Structures are given as C-alpha cells and as structure tokens.
Amino acid sequence: MISKKNKVVELEHAVIRFAGDSGDGMQLTGSLFSDSTAFAGNDFATFPDFPAEIRAPQGTIAGVSGFQIHFGRTDIHTSGDLADVLIAMNPASLKANMRWITKEAIIIVDTDSFVEKNFVKAGYAADPLSDESLVGHLVIKAPITTLTREAIRDLNLDNKTSQKSKNMFALGLVFYMFNRDYKKTYTFFESKFRSNPLIVEANKKVLEAGYNFGDTIEAFANTYKVDPAPLEKGKYRNVTGNLATAWGFLAASDRSGRDLFLGSYPITPASEILQELSKHKELNSISFQAEDEIAGIVSTIGASFAGALAVTTTSGPGLSLKSEAIGLAVITELPIVIVDVQRGGPSTGLPTKSEQSDLMQALFGRNGEAPVIIIAASSAADCFYSAYEASKLALEHMTPVILLTDGSLANGSEVFKIPKVKDLPEITPPLVEANDDTFKPYARDEKKLSRRWALPGTEGLRHRIGGLEKEDISGNVSMDPLNHQLMTELREEKVRRVVDYIPDQEVIGAEDSDVLVVSWGGTYGVLLTAIEKLIEEGKSVSLAHFKHIMPLPRNTREILSRYKKIVVCEINMGQFVNYLRMQFPEYKYEQYNKIQGLPFMVTEIIDKVNELLND
Amino acid sequence: MNDIVDAKSLTLTKKDFESDQMVKWCPGCGDHAILRSLENVFPELGIPKEDFVVVSGIGCSSRFPYYMNTYGIHGIHGRAAALATGIKLTNPRLSVWMISGDGDSMAIGGNHFIHIARRNPDINYLMFNNKIYGLTKGQYSPTTPFGAKTKTSPQGTFEQPFNPGELVIGSQGKFFARVTDTNLKLMSKIFKEAAEFRGASIVEILANCIIFQNKIHSLITSKETKEQNQLILEHGKPMLFGKDNEKGIVLEGTRLKVVELGKDGVTVDDILVHDKTTVDPGIHMMLASMAPPEFPAAIGVIRAVKTETLEESVWNSVEHEKKTSPIKTVDDLLNSGNTWDID
C-alpha cells in the first residue's frame, strides 16, 4: 500500500489522553504508549484518571476511565494541562473529557459506539458527531469495533474476546500519528499472553490494523514526531510514585542492614505500596496486611522495637486512625516511617483524587506534644528518594517520620534514572552492642539527641519502654513534673535538630524577584513548569518548593525575607501558608488555593503570578 | 521458634526476672499471683533471658512489663496483639508474652483479639479476666455478667457478656486454656504448656479485682464451692470432678450433661475423655461455654491443636523466594522490567 503521509510535523511536546469505559482497557493502552515513548527517547509524565468505582454502569460518565501522557524533547515535569489528542472510545468519554482538551485538539472516536442508547447514557441530547459541538477540532471517525472484528475474523474468536482488543486498534492508530514502531509492542503481547498464542496473534493483528488504518485514510493531514529529549546518560525506567516509594524503602533496608517490615491496611490510593512490597520477600521484606489501620501502625512499632526498618502506609482517613499510635512511637522514640498518600477529604471524601489537605494533621494531629519529622515528596520519581531519606532520618534520629505523597504522585508516572544502591547515602542506625554496660534506654547522642536502639534478643540490654512518660536517662516510668517538661523539650529539640541533617532550601530564579512563589510536595512539576516559562518570558518571579516541612530548612526565614510579595500555592485551603504564618509572622503572604480534587494547571499558576506582578 | 537451650546451663532463677520497680497493684489483687507465677516459670523454660519480650496494652494488668526484668513494651489500649505480632514476625526467635485484660482484649482490642487467634503467631497471650474496668475505677466490661451493677450500670448492665474461650475457638484459635488466680501450681503448669505450644496460646486467667469486683469468680474459686464448680481437664483423662471425682461430663445427643457415677448405671467408661488436640471445635466450644450453676467451669487446657504458625509461614516464604526469585538484590529489582539506556 502506498503511504499517504506526506508531511511529518516536528513537535516540542504533546499531550495525549486515552479515554473509554472502565472496562475498555485504557490504562493498559496508556501504559503501552508510555513504553513506546520511552523507547523513542522522550521525557514524559503520565497520569491516570479513573473512577472510584471498579465498574460503574457501562457507557455512563461515572464509568469513564482516562490516561493522560505528556511527552517531549525537553524536560517534562507534568502530565500536561490540556490534551492535544483525545481518544474517546464512547460518547461518555467524549463528553467527560471535552473540558480537558485544547480548542484545536484532534479527537479520535469509535463511531460504532456513537449510537442512540449510548447518547442517552452519556447525557447527550443528540449525536455530538453531527451537531456543532466539535467545531474547531479535527475529528477522526473510525469504526473501531467493526474494524477490530474484521481484523481477526480468521481467528474465529468469540465476539466478547475479539471486542477486548479494540483498545489496541486505537493504540495502533495513535502510533501511526506519532510515527512509532508498533512492532516493539509485540514483545509485550508475547510475554503477557504467553499461555494463549491466539490472543497474542489477535492483539498483534488489531494493533497493526489500527496502524494501517491511519496510513490508509486520508484524514490525517500530517503525522507528528517528537525528538528525543537530552536526558543525562544512564539507564532509565518509568515509575509511579507508589512503586518508587516501595523501592525507596527496599533500598533503605539494604543500605541500613535492617530487614524491612511493612504493617499496613489497604486504602486507596496507597495500596500499591503494600502490594509491591508483598511481592519482594526475596529481599527480606515482610509485609503484614493488618486487620485495620491501627494494627497496621502498631505492628510497625513492634517491628521497630524488634529491630526492623518499620513502615506503615495509608491515606488521610487512615492517618487519623493512626494518631494515637504515632504518639506511642514519639514517646518510645522508636524509628518508624508513616506514608500518607493524601487524597481528597474530609472523611471518605474523594478517594481517587488528589489533595494536599493532610498537612495540618501530619503536623499537629495527635494528643500531647508529639513532634515528628515531615517530608513531602515532589514527584513520582522523587518518592524513591523521599522514602529513602525518611527511612534514614527515622533510623538515625530514632523518631517517627511522616512522608507525605499524594494521589497524583502515587498513580502518576515519570521517567526515573535508575540509581545504584551503593551510591545512596549511608544509613547508620544507633544500634547498641551486646553487654554494653554504658547503655541507658533514654541516654542521648549529644548532637542528634537520639536515644540508642537496643534490640530484644541482645544480651545485657534488657529494658522496658512504653507509652507512660519516662525518666530522662534511666527510662523508668516517671510522673515527675520537671522531668516531663525536660522530656517534652528533648523530644521537640531532637526533631528541630534534624535541620542540621537536611539540605538548605533552594530557590529557582533570581534572589530579588518581585514575586516569590512558594509550594510544597506533589505540585512541584506544575510549579516548576509555570515558573520556568515565566522566567523565560522575562518575568521577575522565583520559586521555593519545599520538600522538608518539619523541620523547615535553616535558610527559610532568610529566603522569605528577600521578596516583596510571597504567594503560597497549594491544593488545600491554605495549610502550608498558615504554618508559615505561625513560624514567620513578620511576612505577608498571599495564597492561591484550589480544592477540586485536581492538580494545578500550569496556566492557572501563570495567570496568578501575572496578576500579582501587575498589581 | 525458640532456640532450645539446656535449662541447666542457663541456671536462671526467679531473681533474674524480678525488676527493681515498685509493684503498684492493690494489695490482694490477683495480678500479684500471676506475676509470681510467671517469674517462676520463665527460668524453667530453657530460654535465654534476653530472648523474652513482655508486651502489653493498657489497664491494670498491662503494667506487667515494668515489673519483669526482660525486654518489655507497654503499648496503647487494646493494641498489644498488634505490637506482639510485629515483634514476632520481625524476630521469630523471641519468646513473646502478651499481657492483657478483659477491657483491653474484649472491648477496645476485640478486633485484634480475634485476628491474633486466627493468624496463630507463636505468642503467649495471658488475659486477666476480672470482669471489670479496674484502672478507670469500676465500669463494666464486655465480660461483666448480664445485670451486674457497676459505676456505669447502676441499674445493672443491659448487655450479654463475651465468653473469651468461645471467641478464641470461634476465631479459628488453636490454643485456649483457663485457670484461676488462686491455683498457682496449675497456673505455672499451664504457662509452661502455653510457652511450649507453637502458636497463639491464649490463656484466660480468672483474676479477682479486690476493689471493684471482689469475689466475682468466688463460685468457681472459693474453698466451699470450687470442687463442685471446677472441672480440671487433663488430656486423655475422663472429665471427672467433685470432692471425690464422683461427677462427670457425658455427651447426651448434641449436648454436654453432668452425671453422677453410680447413679442410673453410669460408670467411668461413660464419661467423656478430654482430647485437647482434636481439630473439630465442637466439644472444645461446649467445654469453654460451661458455667455454674448448671455446669462446672472447665479449667486447664481446653484446646491445643498444632498447625504452622504465622511467622513460620512468612519466613518459609522468604526462604523460598530467596531461592527461586531471579531478583537477588535491590539493584536487580530497580533494573527489572522495561528499562532503556540513554547514551
């Protein structure tokens, strides 16, 4: 067949959104496109957008599942604001996603599903393909269901089975649009459906049919190409935040010489960490699926007492349930890491959507004076380093650490340069040798103020700890008023002194810009993209994105003092800004908040900064 | 999974386990007897003293770890089972003893109680059942008898109590024993048996709270009535009780029944023989349920069914994965699956 493609347009970056019914396999389609993007050498980031229900009624807006990928020849930090290409497998997915695409976006639809009954389910009064609603868009009308069936007619598969591969037709079509080598995906089929050669064959045929369909029809005026990004030399892979978190703990377990123990209860969007670690017993990682959130953390405290790198993972509702036990870890001064993959709240809230609204809970949500170290991961790949650092700080400072990630980091993915474990910083827990007669349970390291870790089973170190206040040095139960004040201050000071073990806060942009944008945690990618763009445009703006929350880096005050206007952007009602107001009341803070279960868009940040610059 | 060490070579004594802390339970409290008994048992188990860990929740009984010179951790209310499980999973070599009460285990920790029974880690779980909240000064607990007047039930409780043994057996528990705080000799024997049993050994100790629920177990424990109201079970022996073992338990239809030897032609051959090892929970459940005045209370080891422990299953799986997984190091893992090189 003679190729009709005559023009290849080079793009700096592009955003594609795959959308369909939750049974249509859109997540798989997206992840296969991601793999192909990796082979093409682009930098990229992805984000799945799926409903809280497993299979909401077919054909409805509630059942729409989406996957967005942003890839480019430059550094990519976000999964993209609006999509340039939308694949809509049914009317509901078209309707649900119109607000997430650009005005000129190319829309690919499966015309076979655009029938009366589906319009009704999606809430369309009329066929959106034949009214004015898609004006401005190039709409590729492909009878995907029919063509899929045709492509594998020879294989005599039943109707249901053949329908299942229609997502591969859509993938083939998009591969054509972006000049990808579709045959690279064959290896995936061959490994995934190893036991069923017929299915391997079917998927190959459908993928090829989709590609050829693109080549044959004259609908595409152009095809597109995104050149490789200038990534540093090295070995790369794609990771989601949850995967990176799990692996960060495994690396910390390796470097610290402590077995990993995860005590956790399944909760969206944190469960994948538990699932991943339960796969890796070969690395001495014990995962214990507890009967509830409380048993999750309390078993973790037990494991820590017994000498493990002990971790518990949860989301906001679970963090609430763990509050009392975090206090036990604070007073027993045992190292544990609590991961809170934040989601929309309060209560059950928006389980599959992301938010940054647990910051105050992490800082203050406990009875008594119960300070803990808090770190917030900045990106999916950074979850690896954050989990590693959280473990290091917990083990070396003998105190609980809360690691805040969020739903968008957890499920979003990005390119990750694979580190070597031996290159990661050393982790040296303050273990006590057998029969060390200088050991006192609550004697402290002079610099860090951490107590030492004497493990049950070690000769000559028997001691008791617990939730009752302890006497300084000896660790005996004490109700002495002055001792309580001393111990409270020591626990507080121990956490404060972590400031000597974390890096100074970095600022992107000039030291004296008109506006300092402040952000923290999972919004890094969007903020960085927006601020870099503004700086490129010559705007006087800088960015301080915080990863270390408690304690704040040493130079925080100095940074805040340099700027005339400070705006704190976060996905909540203003928790970090109020934390800054408490600590540094001498500065004036503007705030920019969004609380829709959605990440910031780059354009929103740009608009907000421009508004402040023009004030 | 304790290392077997020759007890004599350890030459431990009660003194090795006594802590220097003042024991602050009320004079006359049943807990003193339990502490004494445990201090006597620990040296006899052949376990190095640094391998003992005593774990507790909250309540009068839960001060226990502070009173024993072992590794100890005093946790939060109701959650000691989770603490103990985390310890045992991390280091299966340790001899883990968990101390709890009826409030701690049956109310706030009820969920953890049924799950530790089901999971069967090798933990020795001593539940002091005094049928009252002592540390908070006299409110009814989930084991307080129906209708009993307490500070929070001035008209008598409106709630049916739990029977801990029924909960254990109903939760797939593999070991359940019951003992009174008045019989030190039997207590020591049962603690030893609990220690030797590999699995969650749950022991209910009928303990007396002298202040808020005095004599709650007196029908079972008092000199005058105990012979009629205690059936001391021995594995492989007929279930006889009474002053001269003149009474026994038979199975009539689907129910247990008290009979008198010699009456209506009943001989010792008609009496049920105790089999603590039978997997079927039927008779064990009925034994756990027996209570005066219709029946004597069953004392001793009611159920002891051997099976793999939680930590054995988990660590066997670790060993298996180490042998079979292509991933040997964290670097292997990071480099597994789809990766690509940028030159």
- Distance, in Å, from the CA atom of B221 to the CA atom of B206, rounded to the nearest integer, reads 9
pLDDT tens figures, A321-346: 999 999 999 999 999 999 999 999 99
Residue B1 confidence (pLDDT) above 60: no
Residue A218's pLDDT is what? Answer: 76
Q: Do A288 and B86 touch (CB under 8 A)?
A: yes
Residue B5's pLDDT is what? Answer: 52
Among the partner-chain residues B50, B86, B317, the one whose CB lies closest to the CB of A299 is B86
Judging contacts by C-beta atoms under 8 Å, the chain B residues touching residue A414 are none
Chain A nearest-CA distance from B299, in A, is 31
First to last CA, chain A: 61
**What is the three-class DSSP state of B122?**
coil
Indicate the DSSP class of residue A502.
Answer: S
Among the partner-chain residues B21, B328, B340, the one whose CB lies closest to the CB of A39 is B340
First to last CA, chain B: 52
For range A504-511, the mean pLDDT? 97
- Distance, in Å, from the CA atom of A339 to the CA atom of A361, rounded to the nearest integer, reads 13
Task: Express as a percent the part of chain A with pLDDT over 70.
Answer: 99
Residue A223's pLDDT is what? Answer: 92
The CATH 3.40.920.10 domain(s) of chain A lie at 8-226
pLDDT tens figures, A54-66: 778 889 999 999 9
Tell which residue, B46, B42, B55, has the closest CA to residue B121.
B55
Contacting residues for A266 by C-beta, under 8 A, at least 6 apart: A274, A289
- B51, closest residue in chain A (CA to CA): A457
Question: From the centroid of its chain, how far is CA A496?
Answer: 28
- Which residue ranges make up each domain of chain B? 7-233+276-316, 238-273
Categorize the per-residue pLDDT at A6 as very low, low, confident or very high, splitting at 50, 70 and 90.
low
Is B171 touching A (CB cutoff 8 A)?
Answer: no
Give the neighbor-by-neighbor strand order of the sheet with A83-88: A138-142, A101-110, A83-88, A13-21, A64-72, A43-49, A413-417, A234-240, B339-342
* Residue pairs between chains A and B whose CB atoms are closer than 8 Å: 200
Tell which residue, B255, B196, B230, B189, has the closest CA to residue B41.
B189
Chain B nearest-CA distance from A556, in A, is 34
Give the neighbor-by-neighbor strand order of the sheet with A515-520: A541-546, A515-520, A565-570, A589-593
Residue A605 confidence (pLDDT) above 70: yes
Contact B231, B241 (CB under 8 A): yes
Of residues A361 and A5, more confidence is placed in A361
Among the partner-chain residues A236, A298, A299, the one whose CB lies closest to the CB of B339 is A236
Mean pLDDT of chain B: 95
- Distance, in Å, from the CA atom of A539 to the CA atom of A541, rounded to the nearest integer, reads 6
Tell which residue, A121, A120, A65, has the closest CA to residue A88.
A65
Q: Do A288 and B325 touch (CB under 8 A)?
A: no
- Distance, in Å, from the CA atom of A380 to the CA atom of A245, rounded to the nearest integer, reads 8
Contacting residues for A412 by C-beta, under 8 A, at least 6 apart: A45, A46, A47, A48, A79, A240, A241, A380
Judging contacts by C-beta atoms under 8 Å, the chain B residues touching residue A35 are 338
**What is the three-class DSSP state of A285?**
strand
Residue A77 confidence (pLDDT) above 60: yes
pLDDT tens figures, A129-141: 998 889 999 999 9
B95-101 vs B175-180, strand pairing mode = unpaired
Of residues A272 and A56, more confidence is placed in A272
Interface of B with A in 300-339 (CB under 8 A): 314, 317-318, 320-322, 324-325, 327-331, 333-335, 337-339
Residue A1 confidence (pLDDT) above 80: no
For range B289-311, the mean pLDDT? 97
In one-letter notation, the amino acid at residue B212 is F
What is the phi-psi region of residue B163: left when phi exceeds 0, alpha when psi lies from -120 to 50, beta otherwise? beta
Mean pLDDT of chain A: 95
Contacting residues for B252 by C-beta, under 8 A, at least 6 apart: none
Categorize the per-residue pLDDT at B9 as very low, low, confident or very high, splitting at 50, 70 and 90.
low
Neighbouring CB atoms inside 10 A of A83's CB total: 25
- B337, closest residue in chain A (CA to CA): A237
Neighbouring CB atoms inside 10 A of B158's CB total: 9
CATH architecture of A238-423: 3-Layer(aba) Sandwich (3.40)
Task: Express as a percent the part of chain A with pLDDT over 90.
Answer: 92
Tell me the DSSP string of B32-71. Answer: HHHHHHHHHHGGGS---GGGEEEEE-SSSGGGGGGGBSSE
pLDDT tens figures, A426-478: 999 999 999 999 999 999 999 999 999 999 999 999 999 999 999 999 999 99
Categorize the per-residue pLDDT at A51 as very low, low, confident or very high, splitting at 50, 70 and 90.
confident
Judging contacts by C-beta atoms under 8 Å, the chain B residues touching residue A234 are 341-342
Contact B181, B34 (CB under 8 A): yes
For range A355-371, the mean pLDDT? 98
pLDDT tens figures, B309-333: 999 999 999 999 999 999 999 999 9
Residue A2's pLDDT is what? Answer: 41
Residue A57's pLDDT is what? Answer: 87
Residue A83's pLDDT is what? Answer: 97
pLDDT tens figures, A195-228: 999 999 999 999 999 999 998 887 787 899 999 9
Question: H/E element holding B186?
Answer: helix B184-196
Give the neighbor-by-neighbor strand order of the sheet with B240-241: B240-241, B247-252, B255-260
Distances (CA, A) of A506 to A56, A388, A520, A542: 45, 20, 12, 10
Tell which residue, A528, A513, A497, has the closest CA to residue A613.
A513
Residue A538's pLDDT is what? Answer: 97
Neighbouring CB atoms inside 10 A of A198's CB total: 13
Is B7 touching A (CB cutoff 8 A)?
Answer: no
**What is the three-class DSSP state of B214?**
coil
**What is the three-class DSSP state of B273?**
strand
Tell which residue, A253, A234, A3, A190, has the closest CA to residue B318.
A253
Distances (CA, A) of A418 to A37, A254, A585, B340: 17, 16, 42, 10
Among the partner-chain residues A38, A284, A299, the one whose CB lies closest to the CB of B318 is A284
Q: Do B82 and A420 touch (CB under 8 A)?
A: no
Judging contacts by C-beta atoms under 8 Å, the chain A residues touching residue B111 are 291-292, 295
Categorize the per-residue pLDDT at B2 as very low, low, confident or very high, splitting at 50, 70 and 90.
very low
Among the partner-chain residues B21, B75, B343, the one whose CB lies closest to the CB of A476 is B21
Judging contacts by C-beta atoms under 8 Å, the chain A residues touching residue B339 are 235-237, 418
Judging contacts by C-beta atoms under 8 Å, the chain A residues touching residue B338 are 35, 38, 237-238
Chain B nearest-CA distance from A326, in A, is 10
- Strand partners of residue A312: A338
Q: Which fold has domain B7-233+276-316?
A: Rossmann fold (3.40.50)
Contacting residues for B32 by C-beta, under 8 A, at least 6 apart: B23, B25
In one-letter notation, the amino acid at residue A225 is K
Class of domain A8-226: alpha beta
For range A83-102, the mean pLDDT? 96
- B95, closest residue in chain A (CA to CA): A457
CA angle B278, B279, B282 (to 5 degrees): 85
Contact A316, A345 (CB under 8 A): yes
**What is the three-class DSSP state of A505?**
coil
For range A180-188, the mean pLDDT? 93
Contact A361, A414 (CB under 8 A): no
Burial string for A572-606 (b: 16+ CB within 10 Å, else e) reads bebbbbbbbbeebeeeebbbbebbebbbbbbebbb
Residue A160's pLDDT is what? Answer: 86
Three-state DSSP string of B91-117? CCCCEEEEEEEHHHHHHHCHHHHHHHH
* CATH of span A515-614: 3.40.50.920
Tell which residue, A520, A415, A411, A527, has the closest CA to residue A68.
A411
